[in-house]
Structure formats: C-alpha cells, structure tokens
Structure 1
Amino acid sequence: MNDSVVPPEAHSPSPADLRRWRRYLADERAEAATYRDLAERRDGQERDILLALADAEGRHEAHWLELLGDREGKPARTDLRTRILGTLARRFGSIFVLALVQRAEGRSPYADDTDATVAMAADERIHGEVVRGLAARGRSQLSGTFRAAVFGANDGLVSNMALVVGISATGVSTPLVLASGVAGLLAGALSMGAGEYVSVSSQRELLSASTPDPEARTVVPHLDVDANELALVYRARGMEQRAAEEHAREMISGTDCAHGDDPHVSASTVPDEARDEHEAIGSAWGAAISSFLFFASGAIIPIIPYLFGMGGLPALAVAAVLVGLALLVTGATVGVLSGASPMKRALRQLAIGYGAALATYLLGLLFGTSVA
C-alpha cells in the first residue's frame, strides 16, 4: 500500500478536512511536548525511549503540515484530553500520566482516516505498546502497596456503608447507628490487619524454609568423597544426576569451595535472592498496620455525618453521597493505572457499593418490620 503523502494540490480539501487536519496537527505537537516533558523527569533508557516517541510524533506533525501547505492557518486547540495530559506531565510526570498516555495512544483515529497513512496508524498502535511497557515498570513498583490501599479503603467503604444503612433501616436510634458504625470500623480494620499479618508472616516463613542453609557449606570439606551425598543436594535442587555428581566432586576436592561460589549450598548467591524476595514481600507488621489504616480510612466515611450529630434520612443521604464520591475516586484510579476506562471502572465501583448498601437497607427494613 502506498503510504506517501497526497500533495495538497491533488484535491481540494473541504473546510471540515482542514479543521480536522489542523486538530491533528495540534494534537501531534501537544503529544510530542508531553513525551518531552516526561523525558525531562527520567534518565537513561526511559529518557531515550520517550524522546524517540516525541521524534515520531514530529514525523506525524510533518505529514499534516505538508497536507495543509499554506493553509495551516491559526493554531487549532487540542482536545481536552491532550491538554490535561500535557499539564499532568509537566507537573507530575508519574505513572498516572503514562497510563493515560497509553490509553490515548490506543484511541488514535488514524486507522479509520484515509488522510493518515498506514504507517502513521501503525506507529500509534506501537506507541501504545511502548508506553504500556514503560507504565508496566511503574505499576510493578507500586502494585503491592497500591493494591492494599485501594482494596482496603474500598472494603471499608462498602462494608461499613452497608452496615450503617442496614442498621439505620431497622429504625434504631442515631447513637446506636453510630456505635454500630464505629464497631464495624474497628472490627473490619482489625480483621484486615490481622489477616495481612498472618499472610505476610506465612509467606516469609515458607520462603525461609525453602532457602538453603548458609552454614551447610562449612561441612563440605568433611564429606566422604566416595559416598558423595552432596550430589543429592544438587539433584534435589534440580540438577541432572551426572552434572550433580561432577559438581559435588569439584566442591569436595576444593575446586569451588575455596571461592564460596556454589549457588546450591553457599550463602553467596541464593541467600541474596532470598533477601530480595523477603524485601519484596515486606514486613508483616508494616503490612498489618497499612491494611488497618487503609480499611479505617474508608470505613470512617459512612459515619462522618453521625459524628457531626446528624441522624435519620439526612445522615443516610450525606453518607451515601460521601461514599459515592470515594467509590468513584477509587474506581477511576484503578481504571487509570490499569489503562482501562476510568469512567467505566468508577461507575462499576459505584454500582457495587450502592448495590451492597441497597441490599442491606432492604434487609434492615424487613427486619425492622418483623420485629415491630
């Protein structure tokens, strides 16, 4: 397929064509500026990649300039999405911006626009994959903490909102609703913290149990050369029988032992890797405290109006609005970081939270009626 630019004089573009080309030109310039702004906050390979993406957007800019010729006119305004990306890149240059850029690249209109070349459409698709790779690095770095924060806060929001709504629907007094909400906050946060402590402690214990004993290499020189049971250690850790026996003979004879570089017994390599895994898992107490605080930060929102003396339907309405806003924020944040639609994720989170609250409200009404 011919990807060459059609000369401007080959046809007479309509006013709509000119407006579209000018908008594309403005978008390409803005996206190139976004990549350069992001590059300023990075170094090494990431900086080079971002600058290369900016150069690619410059090639696309040249395409629209050639089509427009002397009809470039006044600079068109970029769309709101691109302007927001530029502002975020200049102020933050964070993983959130890369996630938004990834989604923006995936929505390029070039594949369906006959005035854009096939190569340009392919470029935009590949740009999305390049940014996906860059964003994945940041996602992996914050995935554990972020997951605990979002899920902990969301659990607190939904569970305590459902509890407060359900208790309110039974017709009990406002102080009792508040007491129930505080009890739900403390019970849920303590449960989350205890569960996280047990989970992380168990992971660390399992990892320690699988890590080679660094003291085992000290007995290697005293092993029986003929029995050579050291080979069994290597075979147990995945080496073939022949290679294990040969390596064990070398260790016992002192070929490698003096250097302490046996990756299957010594402390020189495997314990380092184990330390890295221990660090990735994190501290059990740190995880427990974080989970407690994250859950509590979400669970306190539904009881805020009751803390200020409100009661009845007005308190429920205020609580529902506050929780709804918080659910929209957590859902949109997950959507941004995952490269999905922030709006869809926000609305999904809202629907789940309100659905749980509605279910407990109906049960509360039923329970209150039956008791009466």
Structure 2
Amino acid sequence: MNDVETRREPTPADIRRWRQYLADELAEAAVYRDLAARRAGEERAILLSLAEAEGRHEAHWRRLLGDQVGPKKNGALRTRMLGFLARRFGSVFVLALAQRAESRSPYNKDHDATGAMAADESIHEEVVRGLAARGRKRLSGSFRAAVFGVNDGLVSNLALVLGIGATGVPAATILFTGLAGLLAGALSMGAGEYVSVRSQRELLEASSPTPTEKSVLTRLDLEANELTLVYRARGMSPEKAELHAKQVLRTAEVATNPFEAADTRAVMPTVDEHEAIGTGIGAASSSFCFFASGALLPVLPYLFGMSGLPAIALATVLVGIALLATGAVVGLLSGGPPLRRALRQLAIGLAAAGVTYLLGLAFGTTLA
C-alpha cells in the first residue's frame, strides 16, 4: 500500500486535484479505446492494454477519494479534443498528439501519485511513440512530397509576387507573373520528384540480388567456393563468409534463395523504408498538385481584382496561415513541438519573401 493513503486528511485543494486526475484518466482511457476501435491485430491489443493501465490509475484516485468522488467531471480540454479526433480519424496525427499528451504527465511532481504511476506514464509515451512511428513509416513518399511541395509553392510564389509587386508594375502583370511561377514551379517540382523517386528505385533494384543466380549453385566449384565472395562483398569477414557459404550449399531450403539469407541481411545496410515507398508517377502528381495549391494562395488577391499594398498584405496573411499549418503538420509527423515548428516555418517563409520584396523596392518604381 502506498504511504499516500495513510497521510493526513486531504484538503479541499487535494480533493479538487484528485477529482481532475480521475476525470483525466477516464478521458485518456476512452481515447485509447477509441483508437483501438479503428485498428486490428497487435496495434489494437497494445492500445487496449494502455486503456487498462489508465484504468489502474483511475482506481488509485478513486481509493484516495473514497466517498468524495463527487459528480463526474470532464477531462482536460486537450484530452477531450484528442478523443474527438480519435473517434473520427484515428490517424498518426492523433497518435502524435497522444504522445505529446503523455509527456506532460504531472505525476512525477505529485507526491499523491505512486512511483509506479509516474513510471507508467513515461512508458506510455514510449509505447505511443512506437505506434506513431509505425504510422509514420506507412506514410507514402507521395505524402512527403505533398507536404514539402505545398510549402515550396507557398514560399517561392509569395517571394515572386512580393518582389514583382514591390516594383510598382500593374496588378495584371503581377497576376500573370504569379500564374507563370505557379505553373513553372509545379512542373519543375513534379519532374524533379519523378526523376528522384525513379532514380532511387533503380538504385535499390540494382543493389538487389537477381533471382536467376540461385540456379548456378549446383554448378559451383565446391573447392574454390566463390559463393564466399558474395558474402564477403556484403560485409562478412572471410571466415564467416566461408562458413556461411558452406551452410548455404548444404541446406536446400536456404539454397533456394541464398542471397537473401538472414545472416546476409544482418550485415547489409538497412534501407530507409519510408523513402523507398511510393512510385514516380504518384510522387510527381502529388508534388505537382500540392505545389500548385500552395503557389495559388499568393495570387488569389490579384485574381479577385485587388492591387497595391492591400493585395500584398492579404497575400502575406494567407500564406502565413498556410505556413503555420504546414509547419504544425511537419512537427506532428516528426514528433516535435507543433507550435515551435509552425513558427519556425512561418519565420523562414516570410523572411525569404521579405528579401525579394526589399529588392523589388530597391530596384523598382513607386508602388502602384
């Protein structure tokens, strides 16, 4: 039994705090059950186990409260919002938010919580981090291209529009310049992404063993045993390569696919699965569309007939909001603080656009 149960009578402040902890544990357990409802297999079992652990914490606060549990309270607002998202989406974004929520547990500093409860919360953060990492790996290369494509479109076209707008040219010129920048940039991004992904896949294919090579095993010179050279080339020491080659030649099951034996994989560099997923066409299409959608925002004021400083101000505000959103998304996906990443994205984007605006003022005419 924990010594917190034998201490002095709880104060009204203690009762209020314990009731809030109880409400939060109930809400967190519901989040994990909601996430589990949208999954199957091992991930579902892990999430349900987390919900059970929150249930043990709930029981601790009920024991301390005794007959002073009182009416049911709502959990913290962020936990309720997390539950709302879990019931409707259950995506890697929700897991990333749950990971951050677990990292903010107050139990380490609260003497009314047991040491085991504080340790549980730390472990829960790592468990949710692992589940979120699974989700991040399942994200395709096309999604990666989308996030960075829209960001590039926002920054590059805002810089172009502000730079040209600061020279004082007519609004129609700015509009057509912005649309040309949108199309040129989107085509360039799409083509570059296609070439990048195709080249990457071709490099991976070139490093993969050919399936026809297993047919030569029966014709190998057992004395020379050049199969050892294969494993030495893949990182094994000469002694281990020779031993493994002999095992391969003796074992029919392994010999059917010797170039993918477990020991060989163990010494080969690990391929970045997230980078390897996706097709050239998919990544190019995603990059094109999202760059174009980002690049469209800076020209929207001019499409609706605005000009001069009001158009520049509105374009900057629209792009600023979008930069905050993409920065927060990148922060969630990377497991970092969303607000900090959002502000960093905003600062970098507006700084780049500000440079071109100042150049436009320096070399242009008076602002229209």
Report the TM-score range of the alignment, normalised by the length of the smaller protein.
0.7 to 0.9
> Are 1:342 and 2:338 an aligned pair?
yes
The alignment yields a C-alpha RMSD, in angstroms, of: 3.1
What is the DSSP-based 3-state SS (H/G/I as helix, E as strand, rest coil) of the residue aligned with 1:309? coil
Give unpaired runs (5+ residues) of structure 2. none
Contact 1:216-1:265 within 8 A present in 2 as well: no
> Are 1:139 and 2:146 an aligned pair?
no
> Are 1:22 and 2:24 an aligned pair?
no
> Are 1:261 and 2:256 an aligned pair?
yes
What does residue 56 of structure 2 align with?
59
- Which of 287, 291, 294 lines up with 1:295 in the alignment? 291
| One-letter identity of the residue aligned with 2:100 | R
Which is further off, 345-354 or 207-216?
Answer: 207-216
Contact 2:96-2:333 within 8 A present in 1 as well: yes
Give unpaired runs (5+ residues) of structure 1. none
Aligned pairs (5 A) from 1:79-228: 79-142=76-139, 144-222=141-219, 228=225
Change (3 A) 1:66 1:320: same
What does residue 354 of structure 1 align with?
350
How far has the Cα of 1:89 moved from its partner?
Answer: 1.3
Give the alignment's TM-score, normalised by structure 1. 0.86
* Greater radius of gyration (CA): 1
Distance 1:17 1:105 in 2: 22
User: Over residues 198-247 of structure 1, what are the superposed CA-to-partner deviations in whole Å (9 max), with x where a residue is unaligned?
Assistant: 22222222223222333334445455566554543444344554565577
User: Over residues 305-336 of structure 1, what are the superposed CA-to-partner deviations in whole Å (9 max), with x where a residue is unaligned?
Assistant: 21222221222122122111211211122222
What does residue 6 of structure 1 align with?
5
Contact 2:298-2:315 within 8 A present in 1 as well: yes
Contact 1:166-1:360 within 8 A present in 2 as well: yes
User: Over residues 122-177 of structure 1, what are the superposed CA-to-partner deviations in whole Å (9 max), with x where a residue is unaligned?
Assistant: 11111111111111100111163332111110011011011101110010111111
Contact 1:194-1:288 within 8 A present in 2 as well: yes
Distance 2:362 2:163 in 1: 10
Greater relative CO, 1 or 2 (CA 8 Å, sep 6+): 2
| One-letter identity of the residue aligned with 1:293 | C
Which is further off, 145-154 or 28-37?
Answer: 145-154
Change (3 A) 1:209 1:48: closer
> Are 1:280 and 2:276 an aligned pair?
yes
Contact 1:153-1:296 within 8 A present in 2 as well: yes
Change (3 A) 1:284 1:278: farther
Contact 2:189-2:288 within 8 A present in 1 as well: yes
User: Over residues 232-269 of structure 1, what are the superposed CA-to-partner deviations in whole Å (9 max), with x where a residue is unaligned?
Assistant: 344434455456557767888xx667985142299xx9
Contact 2:142-2:287 within 8 A present in 1 as well: no
- Which of 316, 323, 338 lines up with 1:320 in the alignment? 316
Q: How many residues align?
A: 361
Change (3 A) 1:44 1:285: closer
User: Over residues 57-83 of structure 1, what are the superposed CA-to-partner deviations in whole Å (9 max), with x where a residue is unaligned?
Assistant: 111111211222222222222221011
